[in-house]
Copies of this chain bind each other. A is one copy, B any other.
C-alpha cells in the first residue's frame, strides 16, 4: 500500500529517463544487444500497471470499473448494441458481458430491451442516468488528463499516441498469428 519509493528514475546522457538500477542490472548480465528493448518493455510494464491502478482508483470514485466504463463508452459511441456485438467489440467473452450488463442495469445506468427482429438477441442502451454519469466522468476527465500528461510538450504527446498505437498493431498481429 505504500508508495513505490525504490524506483531510481534519472536522466541519461541523451536527456531521456531511465531506471538506473535496472540498467546496471542488465549491464551486469549477459545479452547486451537487447538492453534497449528490455528497458523499454520494463518501462511499458511499469507504466501499464500504474496506469491501471490509477484508472481503477479514479473510476471507483464514480462506482465504475474499467470493464463497466468500457461498456458505457462503447454504448455512447455506437448507440444501442446487441450483447454479442458488445462482447466482440470489447474483446471479452459473452459471459462477462452478461455480468457487466447485470451490474450496470442494477445500478440503473443501462437498460436491456429485446430485439424485435431476432428474439434471441437482447440489446443494451444507455439510460438517462447512465448518460449523466458518463457526462460527469468526462467532465472530470479533462483535468485528470492534464495532470497525467503534465510536462509533456506537443511533440511528446503525439509521440506517445504514435508509439502506443504501434504497439497495439504489433500485439494484434501477434494474436492473429497465434490463432
With both chains docked as a complex, state the minimum distance between the C-beta of A16 and any C-beta of chain B, in angstroms: 4
How many copies of the polypeptide does the oligomer hold?
A: 2
**Looking at the complex, which one of B43, B148, B167 makes contact with A148 (CB distance below 8 Å)?**
B167
Contact residues on A (Cβ < 8 Å of other chain), bracket: 35 or more
Structural contact, B1 and A88, CB atoms closer than 8 A = yes
Verify if A136 is at the interface (C-beta below 8 Å from B): no
Which of B31, B52, B145, B179 touches A48 (beta carbons < 8 Å)?
Answer: B52
* Minimum distance in angstroms from A150 CB to a CB of chain B: 6
Interface residues of A in 40-70 (CB under 8 A from B): 40-41, 43-55, 66
A61 CB to nearest B CB, Å: 11
Kindly list chain B residues whose C-beta atoms are within 8 Å of the C-beta of A54: 171, 174-175
- Is A115 positioned at the interface, with any CB of B under 8 Å from its CB? no
Q: Is the CB of A37 within 8 A of B149?
A: yes
- Could you say which residues of chain B place their CB within 8 Å of the CB of A19? 165
Residue of chain B at shortest CB distance from A2: B88
Q: What string of 1s and 0s marks CB contacts (under 8 Å) between A144-179 and chain B?
A: 011111111010111111111111111110111001
Question: What string of 1s and 0s marks CB contacts (under 8 Å) between A70-107 and chain B?
Answer: 00000001000000000111011100000000000000
With a cutoff of 8 Å between Cβ atoms, the chain B residues found around residue A156 in the complex are 163, 166
Question: Is there an interface contact between B51 and A17, defined as CB atoms closer than 8 Å?
Answer: no
Task: List the 4 closest A-B pairs by CB distance, nearest first.
Answer: A43-B164, A47-B164, A17-B165, A16-B162
